[in-house]
Chain A
Amino acid sequence: MATVTFFVVAVLAVASALGLILKRNPIHGALFLVINLACVAVLYLSLGAEFLAAAQVIVYAGAIMVLFVFAIMVLIPGKEETGPDPRRAVRLLALPVGALLFVQLAMIVRPRDARVPPPPAGGSAESLGTLLFTDYLFPFELTSVLLLAAMVGVLVLARRRPS
């Protein structure tokens, strides 16, 4: 059952990822991204990480909506935006960088590699919370400070200047 679920979801995830990069329409792309993120959430769920799955849906559902709005407001209007990309040459970099990323990923997920220990507890909200507030307290707080800094930065940038 679990294997069947994995293969169905994995195929869906890859297909939707392909749809995301191959579709010209930014809204269609965003919709494929929704499918892709949902597939990842299902994979988390099948691994027993329920909290992570729910968090994935909550966080990315909001992010997707923002993406929709930006796609409409920034990307769709105006024909002048859809002309040839002036930075076309930079695109050639995508291939080597992507290949490098792939090699790194392959090195990380190599099955016989036992350097990454399995999580000490399951993926429940309780064990995750305990870990975050004990072993990983410092990175956790650091991340929250980073997010706070970003938020303050946005506020400062968006504030109306006295004219």
Chain B
Amino acid sequence: MEHLALDALAAFILLNAVIGMVTYVTLLERKFAARMQSRIGPYRVGPHGLLQPIADALKLMMKEDIVPRAADRWVYNLAPIVFLIPCVLIFATIPFAPRLGLADLNIGVLFFLAVSSLEIVGLFMGGWGSNNKYALLSAMRAVNQIISYDLPFVFAALIPVVLAGSLQMSAIVAAQQGLWFVAYPVIGQLGFVAFLVATLAAENRVPFDILEAESELVAGFRVEYSGMKFAIIQLGEYAHMIASSFLGALLFLGGWLGPGSDIPAIGVLWFLLKAMLVFLVVTWVRWSFVRIRVDQILAVSWKLLLPATLGLLLVTAFWVALRGGAGA
């Protein structure tokens, strides 16, 4: 029973840490975007705009909750929660330092891939339940995109798994003790790039954001949501983005490894730093590229990314076999 209480406490702390991270990552993104466009960004609330996320959160909480009369009430109201749960659940398997994580499952990577693929159910419920043409079109596009990018995403994530010979997150980090997987010649770099591209598509970010395409679909599947429900969807989206950044840092950038990472606190710092680096690269892409068309998105996936990642996985497997086994 005591064990259960401790687990619940740890989960509570992690959940709040995730919400805190999401809140401030939005500020980071806005500041970064402002820099890229020679603006200052949020500056009025608090010193250097540091309290802006708090103000935004308060504003969202106080907004009126509107449910469209023609909406499918159950589906519409449940959608934000169904969307949020997998986005938060994937944090459970992420180890932040040796033995510092909620559950270091022996199928950690697989769990991450499986649970994060459930996000689309909530997204689709929102798009369909709103009973809005734009929302429905957006949900259809999302399904299209997820089906196409799930496979390259899985294959790219499997490259470090094959190199480490384990699906366990902590074992994958331990296998990078000598050399981070991103530094492995050719396999590492190409694998990392493929992983980033597939992540962008899984997160529905520019240039793969046809499902929210403001200029044609207003805001896509969340167009009818307001107030707290909108905030929950937003929270889920950013939580997913941060979790994917953590996964990228774990799989390719050596997780918590770095000078002085024997001390857990420094290890956590290294890990956060690397994850934020991945996040900033994703943001950088967002503010530099344009949205591409549906057919182009599908072509990139099926004609380029899927064969490329499959080939890379084969090469990796051959290489590991020639070397005589996986691991460091």
Chain A positions within 8 Å of B, measured between CB atoms, are: 27-28, 31, 34, 50-51, 54-55, 57-58, 61-62, 64-66, 68-69, 72, 124-125
CA distance A66 to B148 in the complex (A): 11
A65–B123 CA distance with the chains assembled, in angstroms: 11
B115 within 8 A of A: yes
Chain A: minimal CB distance from B76 (Å) = 12
Whether B75 and A31, one on each chain, are in contact in the complex, defined by CB atoms closer than 8 angstroms, is yes
Nearest chain A CB to B175 CB, angstrom units:
16
A125 in complex: contacting residue of B107, B143, B146, B150, CB < 8 Å: B107
Say what secondary structure dominates the interface of chain A. Answer: helix
B118/A61 in contact, CB under 8 A: yes
> In the complex, what distance in Å separates the CA atom of A57 from the CA atom of B115?
7
B96-111 at interface with A (beta carbon < 8 Å): 105-107, 110-111
Q: A50-B106, A64-B121, A65-B147 are in contact. Are A58 and B114 (CB under 8 A)?
A: yes
Residues A51 and B118 in contact in the complex (CB < 8 Å), given A27-B128, A58-B113, A66-B147: no
Whether A58 pairs with B117 at a CB distance below 8 angstroms is yes
B125 within 8 A of partner (CB): yes
Q: How far is the CA of A34 from the CA of B117 in the complex (A)?
A: 12
The residue in chain B whose Cβ has the minimal distance to the Cβ of A28 is B75
Cα-based distance from A51 to B108 in the complex (angstroms): 10
Across-interface contacts of B115 in A (CB, < 8 A): 57
**How distant is A118 from chain B, measured CB to nearest CB, in Å?**
20
Contacts from B to A (Cβ < 8 Å): 72, 75, 105-107, 110-111, 113-115, 117-118, 120-121, 124-125, 128, 136, 140, 143-144, 146-147, 150, 154, 167
Q: List 14 A-B contacts (CB under 8 A).
A: A31-B75, A50-B107, A54-B107, A54-B110, A54-B111, A58-B110, A58-B114, A58-B154, A61-B114, A65-B124, A65-B146, A69-B140, A124-B107, A125-B106
The 8 Å CB contact of B124, one of A28, A62, A68, A124, is A68
Give the chain B neighbours of A64 by CB distance below 8 A. 121
A57, B116: Cα distance in complex, Å: 10
In Å, the complex CA distance between A66 and B128 comes to 14
Partner of B117, one of A61, A69, A72: A61
Give the docked Cα–Cα distance between A50 and B115 (Å).
Answer: 13
In whole Å, how far is A33's beta carbon from the nearest beta carbon of chain B?
A: 11
Pick from B106, B114, B136: contact of A124, CB below 8 A.
B106
CB pair A125 B110 closer than 8 Å:
yes
- Across-interface contacts of B140 in A (CB, < 8 A): 69, 72
Contact B121 A34 (CB under 8 A): yes
